[in-house]
A and B are shown apart, each in its own frame.
Chain A
Amino acid sequence: AQKVTQAQTEISVVEKEDVTLDCVYETRDTTYYLFWYKQPPSGELVFLIRRNSFDEQNEISGRYSWNFQKSTSSFNFTITASQVVDSAVYFCALSEAGTDKLIFGTGTRLQVFP
């Protein structure tokens, strides 16, 4: 069965600090996709990234970067030079190619203080 663990329930940082959000997943499938979503206080889900299981290259998008390591079943997300607008709940999620169901982790609430 698939499972996503986000051990950090809440993280507080001061603006301009770097912060890493951890995500560990479990799956029996060899083909799967990993996602990160941002949920600001307004409630909508904002898509950040999708990564398939065959692409272990790290990705950088502006201040955001992702580190995918199959050896440790982790897909961690780093925000560099955090800003107040980064304050939100961040969800890591996993879908298996066989079922197409998207399973979410419990989320990490990030608070960035000025």
Chain B
Amino acid sequence: SAVISQKPSRDICQRGTSLTIQCQVDSQVTMMFWYRQQPGQSLTLIATANQASEATYESGFVIDKFPISRPNLTFSTLTVSNMSPEDSSIYLCSVLDRAYGYTFGSGTRLTVV
């Protein structure tokens, strides 16, 4: 199955700033997914990033707040913009390998102060 390298693993950021999270996959994948996991909560899908088109956002998430780039089939970034303490969460990227299912990055633990 695919191997995902996600960076950074954790960060502490000041409110009002932005953080860009990177995911590098060791093989070409069509679809990448970005999730948020708020403290003590489940994983919520933020958006689906298809290399051929703009990212598709789930209800409650907007591009201005969570811009996503997908420049090629092995790489994607998620930016958390104009951060507030409510954005403190774990952010995970994921890819779908139809043979093996979903693979997840190790996550980025973000704390906004």
Closest to B44 in A: A104
Interfacial chain A residues near B45, Cβ < 8 Å: 101-103
Q: Is the CB of A43 within 8 A of B109?
A: yes
**Chain B interface, number of residues (Cβ within 8 angstroms):** 19
| B interface footprint on A84-114 (CB within 8 Å = 1, 0 otherwise) | 0000000100010000111111110000000
Q: Is the CB of B104 within 8 A of A106?
A: no
- Does B33 touch A at the CB level, under 8 Å? yes
Binding site of B, secondary structure by majority: helix, strand, loop or mixed? strand
**Chain A interface, number of residues (Cβ within 8 angstroms):** 17
| A interface footprint on B66-95 (CB within 8 Å = 1, 0 otherwise) | 000000000000000000000000101010
For the complex, what is the distance from the CA of A38 to the CA of B106, rounded to whole Å? 13
Q: If the complex has contacts A43-B90, A47-B101, A100-B96, are A107 and B42 also in contact, measured as CB distance less than 8 A?
A: yes
Q: Is the CB of B102 within 8 A of A102?
A: yes
Q: Find A102's partner among B94, B106, B107, B109 (CB 8 Å cutoff).
A: B94
Q: Is the CB of A106 within 8 A of B31?
A: no
21 contacting pairs across A/B (C-beta < 8 A)? A43-B109, A44-B104, A45-B43, A47-B103, A91-B42, A91-B43, A95-B102, A100-B96, A101-B33, A101-B45, A101-B48, A102-B33, A102-B45, A102-B94, A102-B96, A102-B102, A104-B42, A104-B44, A106-B41, A106-B42, A107-B42
Residues of A within 8 A of B (CB): 33, 35, 43-45, 47, 50, 91, 95, 100-107
